[in-house]
Structure formats: C-alpha cells, structure tokens
C-alpha cells in the first residue's frame, strides 16, 4: 500500500514542475472523474479555484490540470469562453419595431437567400421615392397617365402620395445598413410602375397596360398589386391571364372593407389574394373575408419606408419611416416571398407557388381553409424549405431531340447523386431511363444533356437520386411531340 502511494506521488512530483504555455487571461473549466481519489485533491486546492458544481471547477492553472490529467483524474477540461448576447441580428435603426419579420420567419429565410437581382418585382402603385436611403435597388420604371383616349407614359415614378414607397420598403428596403428598416428581399430588383398620384385616381386602362409592360417590357417574375376594384372587367382578367400564361406570379391585396365583397384582381383564381393580420396573429377587422383570400400576412402597423412628401394615412416613426396598415401592406410580404422563391427556384410557376403556400402556411382560425385567413399565415422559411429537395429542370420544348438545361443545387451542401430521366410513351408506359451521375457544389448549377432516346415519347419526368436511398421528383415536363 505504501509502495502504491509512492508511485502516485512520484507522478505528481514529476509533472509538478512541467511548464505549459498559456495566455495570462486564459481560464479553464475542469471536470474531475467520479472515480477519482478525492483525498489527493487537497494538494491542488489552491489551483483548482471555485467549484461550479459537484466535481466541476474553474481554474487558470493549466499545469495543475495537466498533472491531474496525467494521474487519470480528469474527465474533461476546456477553455472558458466569452458568450454573446443574442441581440438584434441586424443594425437597422427600426428593426426592433418590425414584429412582422419574426412572425413570418424572415430571418431564417434570409439565411437561405435574400433574393437575386435577376428577379424583378413590379410594384403597380403610386411610384417610389428613391431619395429614401433604404431604397437603393429600385430600377427605372414607368409612369402612366390617361386622358380621353390617350395613355401617356414617362419615366417620372416619384411617389408623392407614399403608398408605393411603403409597399416597396416591405419588399426590398436595404438590410443591415445602419439605418431605417430591414426589407425582406433586398437582393431583388424592384420595378416601379406608377398609375396612382392619390389613393383613388388609378385607371383600369393604366393598370392593364402596366401588367402587360411588367411582363413584356421588364420581364418581371412577380407583380404586386396593392389595389383593386369590385367589378370584374374582362380587360383586367385578360391581362392577369396573360401574366399567368408567362409564368408570372401576381399577388394582390384582398381589400380593406372588412366585408365579403370580392375585389379584383385578388379574386381571380390565378392571383394570390392576401388578407391582413395584426401582431397578435388575429385577422384584421378591415381585411376582406371571402374566397379571394388565399393566405394572410402582417398588415396592421407594419413599419416601412415612406416618401419625403406623403398624403396617405400613416403613423410616422421618423423622416422616411412610418407604420402603415391595410391589406396593401400584407400583399408585399407575399410578393417578397415570391421573389425569394424565384431566386431559389427560378422556374417556379404560379400554380407551384400557390400550392406551396397552401401546404406551408400556418393554419389560423377555423381548421383548414376559411375565408378570413385563407390557408393561413405565410411562413417564409417553410416556403423555401418546401423546395429545398428539388432541383430545377426547365420545361422541354415540343419536338426536342434532347434536354440540355441547367440543374440547380438549392442547398448549401454539395449534392452527389444521379439525375434519373424517365421517358414515357403515349400509352403511359415507361419507355426508357437515363441515369447520369452529378456532383454539384452548394448553391451552384451544372449543365446536364440528356438525349431523348425513344421515338414515341409523350412525357419526360426527371428525378434526383440523392444518395440516401430516396428518389425525389423534379418536375413534369411539357409534352414532347414525337
């Protein structure tokens, strides 16, 4: 027994004089094993410092820790560290006012994408005041004015009413620039198409012309219309259908009467009609309650940008910033989301977008769809996550002999797997399969060429084999004529 004790003490003697390099301000947390001989710890009472919990100590003596470790008494030790308070992730002055961002999970969505400048969002409204320091990603647009049988178009999109500027700020105010507010999708490009100078002087003809221009002149993927009319006009329906046929996602405010009256274009089946909720998640009294409401989004006292000169009703925060209310300001949340999705999945269709909203929105009110909340409150991160396992494959033109398109990896990690292309005959049977290995870096794309190897081919479907034993469909293509 004496011999054993001597050996242990000898170990301590040998290591006691060892020098270990450490900074003067380094500190450690050390956990002593439950099975340790605690009678020996008395020799280190001066070195171990305070006990944080049973067998858990704080010390700045690395040599003592090493001696204890050599004797087999240390379960673990680690350097003490400085923690960080989780304050605002952005430095925008009025970010703390923006309850709408947390409610719709914008922060996590922005970690995926803040939008691509290749994605253009048309805001058909009262223009935009680009002197607002938060609105730096606004491109040149058009101003439409109608007199008798003439529609005049110029480039003066300056907003002196304030409405369009508030809509635009929700979509794309610059984030983390030490001023103002944080927009949802500040990476996109906004196109102002001005048809209003006050709150009720926009003409139907100007609206129709602006919709066609958004599609054909500017190549917009998303159109926001925070306005409407209770009559269904054929010219407006035709313009909306044209945008839909071109793959453009149209988002419109449901209206602010708080009644069941339908307003157009929100009431069209190809348009995402948006109702408003307050910061409590309760539908706003003023929000329309009817079948046009597809989803809801924040709309009551939402912080946003305003113009230097304005005449609309608002609750001013400071110069260039105010809290605004109405379904007009719910709609741009959904338009911003559409722009994020389009940045993430460039060929997303209006139908895919609306289906995604149906499946990912947070159900509020009565279970399932209801005319107050639609399918529920939008969830921006869930929306992007909905498409996370997909790889975008463009539609195939009729009569093509091969597919050669970009495939996008929509995750942050490298994708290693295979693209599986299935060819179906006109009778619905599987005619052939092509398999090509792929390795795509996160957030990147590659070109994959697939020959159409069958003469009787009515449909082509692509899948991705993700390497984990699952097959995920990409998208049904357009019919291929033999």
**Candidate list 125, 129, 134, 159, residue with the active-site label:** 125
**Candidate list 116, 328, 361, 477, residue with the active-site label:** 328
328 is catalytic: yes
333 is catalytic: no
Q: Do residues 381 and 112 touch, judged by C-beta distance below 8 A?
A: yes
**Candidate list 163, 168, 325, 333, residue with the active-site label:** 163
- Report residue 13 as tokens: 């003697």
143 is catalytic: no
Task: Please identify every residue annotated as catalytic.
Answer: 125, 163, 328
């Amino acid at each position: 027994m004496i011999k054993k004790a001597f050996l242990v003490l000898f170990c301590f003697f040998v290591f006691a004089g060892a020098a270990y390099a450490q900074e003067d301000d380094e500190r450690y947390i050390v956990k002593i094993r439950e099975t340790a001989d605690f009678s020996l710890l008395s020799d280190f009472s001066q070195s171990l410092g305070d006990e944080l919990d049973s067998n858990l100590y704080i010390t700045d003596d690395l040599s003592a820790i090493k001696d204890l470790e050599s004797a087999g008494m240390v379960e673990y030790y680690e350097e003490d560290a400085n923690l960080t308070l989780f304050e605002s992730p952005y430095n925008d002055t009025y970010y703390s006012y923006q309850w709408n961002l947390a409610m719709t999970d914008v922060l996590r969505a922005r970690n995926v994408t803040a939008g691509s400048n290749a994605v253009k969002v048309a805001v058909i409204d009262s223009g935009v005041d680009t002197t607002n320091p938060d609105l730096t990603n606004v491109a040149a647009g058009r101003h439409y004015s109608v007199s008798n049988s003439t529609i005049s178009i110029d480039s003066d999109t300056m907003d002196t009413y304030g409405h369009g500027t508030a809509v635009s700020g929700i979509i794309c105010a610059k984030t983390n620039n030490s001023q103002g507010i944080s927009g949802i999708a500040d990476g996109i490009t906004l196109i102002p198409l001005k048809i209003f100078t006050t709150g009720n002087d926009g003409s139907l003809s100007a609206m129709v012309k602006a919709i066609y221009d958004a599609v054909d002149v500017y190549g917009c993927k998303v159109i926001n219309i925070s306005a409407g009319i209770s009559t269904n006009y054929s010219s407006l329906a035709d313009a909306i259908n044209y945008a839909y046929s071109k793959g453009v996602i149209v988002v419109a405010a449901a209206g602010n009467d708080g009644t069941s009256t339908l307003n157009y274009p929100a009431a069209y089946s190809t348009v995402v009609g948006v109702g408003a909720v307050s910061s409590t998640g309760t539908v706003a009294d003023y929000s329309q309650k009817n079948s046009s409401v597809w989803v809801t989004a924040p709309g009551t006292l939402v912080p946003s940008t305003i113009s230097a000169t304005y005449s609309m009703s608002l609750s001013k925060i400071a110069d260039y910033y105010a809290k605004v209310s109405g379904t007009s300001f719910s709609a741009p949340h959904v338009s911003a989301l559409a722009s994020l999705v389009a940045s993430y999945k460039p060929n997303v269709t209006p139908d895919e977008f609306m289906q995604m909203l149906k499946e990912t929105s947070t159900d509020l009110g009565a279970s399932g769809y209801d005319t107050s909340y639609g399918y529920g409150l939008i969830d921006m991160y869930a929306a992007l996550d909905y498409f996370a396992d997909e790889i975008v494959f463009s539609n195939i033109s009729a009569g093509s002999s091969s597919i050669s398109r970009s495939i996008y990896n929509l995750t942050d990690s490298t994708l290693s797997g295979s693209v599986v292309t299935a060819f179906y005959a006109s009778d619905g049977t599987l005619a052939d399969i092509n398999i090509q290995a792929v390795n795509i870096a996160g957030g990147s794309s590659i070109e994959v060429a697939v020959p159409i190897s069958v003469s009787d081919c009515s449909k082509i479907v692509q899948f991705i084999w993700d390497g984990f034993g699952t097959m995920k469909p990409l998208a049904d293509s357009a019919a291929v004529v033999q």
